[in-house]
Amino acid sequence: MWRPKMADEEQMSDRDRGAGADQEAVDEAVRERLYPRQPQPVSGAEQGGGAAAKGPDTGPRERRGVAFQTQEDIAFLGAKPVDNPAVQVLGVRKRLGGRWVLDGVTLELPDDTITVVLGPSGTGKSVLIKHIIGLMFPDEGRIIVRGKDVGQLPLPELLELRQRIGMLFQDGALFGSMSLYDNIAFPLRQHTDRSEAEIAQIVRERLTDVGLARYEDLYPSELSGGMRKRAGFARALAMEPDIVIFDEPDSGLDPVRTALLCELIKRMHATYGGAYMVVTHDIASARRIGEYIAILWRGKIVQAGTAEEMFASDHPFVRQFLRGSARGPLGMD
């Protein structure tokens, strides 16, 4: 039934409609700070023909066209600096299909913490993951993982770094021709010199961790969706990584199995520690497991902080997204 809008509703609508324009101003400020216009070199004649005196270098340090990221820059971009970050994403831009999928992403992931990266579908979350693990490289910016610049590593060092990162893909990404046991054993056989007896012990420990000890002889086609997710998690933990990344772990699961998977993630993190990064758009999952939360929108981190800070945020987009509201700057486009 139609009814006239109340005055406070009119005011809220106007404020949220203006949020998009406000974001445009933020985007321009980011571009100016992150990608400053470079001064043209001054010729010797313009300097009076004399040699230029070399003074201290006070300009921004440049690397692949991006101004060097200071702690102040990180705070300016909405991603509060953290102590002892496991991963630093600094001014990352990536152009795909004629558009900037990542357009100045700056984020630090705290160590020994479950970080949830939230954002609408199609906003570049999976592309960000591929940059962190070195499957894609930035057009501009840097990815620092455990103090190492991913984009500058020789291939042997990059492969070594990847072994320190566990990955749970959306569908589990199990090998259909292998049993559950062999799927978990695969990275150990590929990347270590462990004996089969040692591998068997690790595999069975990980299967026990995720509640699949009785199913080691089954094949992925014989497992339910939730079981495949847990099997993928067991394989992600097989190499004892100190960083574990989850790409939409709740995708395709019903609410109960999503809640159970979240509890498993919390339990495994409490047991093994390390930096966990969970990429999702599910708000319920973020509430269950998120200790640190970052919101990705329009190729940038809109805001990042502790779960308490984020769920109390008054940023129009963050407020809309975390409340699942239809009113706000995010529309159907």
Rounded to two decimals, the pTM is 0.75
Q: How far apart are CA 92 and CA 232, in angstroms?
A: 29
Question: What are 126's two structure tokens?
Answer: 């999976």
Q: Where are the domains of the chain?
A: 74-164+244-326, 173-240
Instruction: Please report the pLDDT score of residue 25 as a whole number.
Output: 58
| 8-22: burial string, b at 16+ Cβ within 10 Å, e else | eeeeeeeebeebeee
Q: Which residues contact 274 (CB under 8 A, 6 or more apart)?
A: 86, 111, 112, 241, 242, 243, 244
The CATH number of 74-164+244-326 is: 3.40.50.300
Rg over CA atoms, the chain: 23
Closest to 90 measured CA to CA, from 11, 149, 23, 24: 149
Instruction: Please report the pLDDT score of residue 143 as a whole number.
Output: 94
Question: What are 170's two structure tokens?
Answer: 């959306």
| 201-226: burial string, b at 16+ Cβ within 10 Å, e else | ebbeebbebbebeebbeebbeebeeb
Phi and psi angles of residue 195, each rounded to the nearest 5 degrees, phi first: -75, 165
Residues 9, 11, 17, 18: what is their CA dihedral angle, to the nearest 10 degrees?
Answer: -160
Mean pLDDT of successive 10-residue segments in the chain (333 residues)? 44 49 54 48 47 44 40 52 86 91 92 92 87 93 94 92 90 87 94 94 94 93 89 93 91 85 93 93 90 90 91 87 76 61
